[in-house]
Amino acid sequence: MVMPIETQVANKRVILGLSGGVDSAVAAILLQRAGADVQALHMTNWEDDDGYCTAADDLQDARNICEQLGITLHHANFSRQYQDQVFEYFLEEYKVGRTPNPDVLCNREIKFGVFRDYAKRLGGDLLATGHYAQSDIVDGTGALFKGADPGKDQSYFLHAVSADALAETVFPLGDIQKNAVRQIARDSGLTVHDKKDSTGICFIGERPFREFLATYLPAKPGLMVTPGGEEIGMHQGLMYHTLGQRRGLQIGGRTDSSDEPWYVVGKNLEKNQLIVAQGEHKMLFSNSLLATDVSWIGTAPAGLTEGLRCRAKVRYRQVDQDCVVQVLNDGTAEVLFDEPQKAVAPGQFVVFYDNERCLGGAVVNKIG
């Protein structure tokens, strides 16, 4: 059982990451109720003034929240660090035809990296965010657990955060449901109680993705082919597509094929070809994967050399899948699933669990 928030924060200074949204606002309320000395820190990590980034509006919302709750607000600009430590990686992955997840790196490098360092300079004893997850100290080491709301649990995105950072972090929303969060905001008279949740790229906002990516990487059109090599159309750039993608292919309604939907099932980088197939094609499924950049929260679990039976997910909100993970001599992780997995995309993360506890994760490199 995770330690109650009152026990974690009473009489401690907690620096809360306040985005200006409803989740972090309610986190502030819950921290106050638990007896914490709460101060807020709002980050600016993207500065393009192109109509899609909502940084200015979010900062004003954060100011209003702090004024209403009587909380001191600090503001820091980490745009350079975000560019160097997150966004450059994001672009490099797309260059080589992979599908990155910048939220994982953003959490590790920014929210629980430079943000954490800044919070310490403000005299913070603990760091807090509005994530739906839970942290605790187990056998003297920081540990990560799933949030109580299965539809909002964000442990997948937090798996790369260090045990040291988790030992100094509290997640006030970890044990409550999303609908309760909005009700608390409503009852407290917060103007952001009905503010839309952000679903865009971490700190970049919700914008037309192809248009955005094309400003940084040149699009390279090529052929769209079946697994057998039949040419059936053109793609505008491999970087715009991911394995398992169904929408946006614009190849439906062919007289020489069935009515089954078309899916992206592969990429041929050398020939710049997008491979597509109809229906539940065998290329959509994989029984295993190889993963690199393996990170464990604290000490690596026992049994990895021989093969550790646990559960894993290869995308956010996927139901945990039974598997065996084995770390090979070169440091890569081989994951063997009990059941075939659909549309596993290189560049995404495989995250490992022991029941409710998140053990860590790795970057999907190859599928088998």
Q: Which residue numbers are catalytic? A: 106, 202
Report yes or no: 54 and 87 within 8 Å, Cβ to Cβ: no
User: What is the sign, positive or negative, of the torsion defined by CA atoms of 74, 79, 80, 81?
Assistant: positive
Looking up tokens 């000395």 gives 37
Looking up tokens 């403000």 gives 122
For 364, phi then psi, to 5°, come to -65, 125
Helix axis angle, 55-69 to 22-33, nearest 10° = 20
For 79, phi then psi, to 5°, come to -60, -40
For residue 354, the one-letter residue type is D
Q: What is the C-alpha end-to-end distance of the chain, expressed in Å? A: 37
**CA–CA gap between residue 241 and residue 221 (Å, rounded):** 12
Candidates 23, 44, 15, 11; CA nearest to 118 is 15
**CA–CA gap between residue 125 and residue 102 (Å, rounded):** 28
**DSSP H/E element including 15:** strand 13-17
CA angle 281, 261, 283 (to 5 degrees): 20
Give the Cβ contact number of residue 8 at 10 Å. Answer: 22
13-17 and 37-44: which strand pairing? parallel
